[in-house]
Structure 1
Amino acid sequence: MDTLKSLLKEMEQEAQTTEKMLSRIPDDKYQWKPHPKSMTIEQLSTHIAELPTWVTITLTTDGLDFAVTPYQPKKVADTAELLKFFEDSLADGYASLQKADINTFDQIWTLRNGDQILTERTRAEVIRMTYCQIVHHRAQLGVYLRLLDIPIPGSYGPSADELGL
């Protein structure tokens, strides 16, 4: 399987798991967080939902500078709005990846905050890093939901909740 087909397949597979996880968030828990240093469920879940758009950003720019383009998190009112935001982000990222030129995947992409370089990686590496970020933050959300006694779906097999444990 070539790189592009593999990345598209992985995006589809992770999207299914991500959608299941996001769909479990109760509308009345968006301001909850497990610790003062933690993000709220709203902040965490909207970040998860927006991450597929980072594929588009990676493929259409040479980098991102937070000093020039400050991060503006999306605000959502409820889980229906969150799922719509994720669906739109996924469609955007998937469409960009479908039409990507594989010959650009070795080009360097830079994430910075002004003069501070946060990371310099090839576009292919940034796309994989984006997928890893989705998985990482989705796992955090799973802990949030577990702490709230909300049954969580399995990611790569059944969860304890699905097994009735």
Structure 2
Amino acid sequence: MDTLKSLLKEMEQEAQTTEKMLSRIPDDKYQWKPHAKSMTIEQLSSHIAELPTWVPLTLHTDELDFATSPYQPKKIANTAELLKVFEDSLADSYANLQKADVNTFDETWTLRNGEQILTQRTKLEVIRMTYCQIVHHRAQLGVYLRLLDVPIPGSYGPSADDLGL
């Protein structure tokens, strides 16, 4: 399987699992957080929903500088809005990835904050890192939901809740 087909397949598979997890968030828990240093569910889930936008960003730019383009998360009030943001982010990401020129995958992409370089990787590595970030934050959300006693969907097989345990 070539690189592009592999990336598209992985995006589809992870999107299904991510959508299941996002859909479980109770509308009345968006301001909840498990610890003072943790993000609220709104902050965490909106970040997850917007992360697919990093794929077209990576494909069409050479860098992101937080000093000149600070992150402004979308305000999410409920799960229906969250799922719409995720659906739109994912559709744009998928469409851009389908048209991607794999010859650009080895080009360097930089994440910086002014003069401070946070990471510098190939575009392919940044796309893979984006997928990993989605999985990482989705797992955090799973812990949040478990602490709220919300049934957790399985990710790569059935969860204890799926099995009725």
Q: Is TM > 0.5 for Structure 1 vs Structure 2?
A: yes
Aligned match of 2:14: 14
Aligned match of 2:82: 82
Aligned match of 2:92: 92
SS at match of 1:46: helix
Structure 1's unaligned 5+ residue stretches are none
Displacement of 1:164: 1.1
The count of corresponding residues between Structure 1 and Structure 2 is 165
The 2-side partners of 1:64 and 1:96 are apart by 18
The 1-side partners of 2:11 and 2:50 are apart by 13
The 1-side partners of 2:148 and 2:89 are apart by 27
Length-normalised TM-score, structure 1 = 1.00
Displacement of 1:16: 0.1
Length-normalised TM-score, structure 2 = 1.00
- 1:33 is aligned to 2:62: no
**AA in 1 matched with 2:57:** I
- 1:118 is aligned to 2:152: no
Query: 1:52-91: CA deviations, max 9, x gaps?
Result: 0000100000010000000101101100000000000000
**AA in 1 matched with 2:42:** E
RMSD of aligned residue pairs (Cα, Å): 0.3
**AA in 2 matched with 1:123:** K
Structure 2's unaligned 5+ residue stretches are none
Percent identity between matched residues is: 87
**AA in 1 matched with 2:11:** M
Aligned match of 1:63: 63
SS at match of 1:44: helix
- 1:144 is aligned to 2:156: no
The 2-side partners of 1:73 and 1:87 are apart by 16
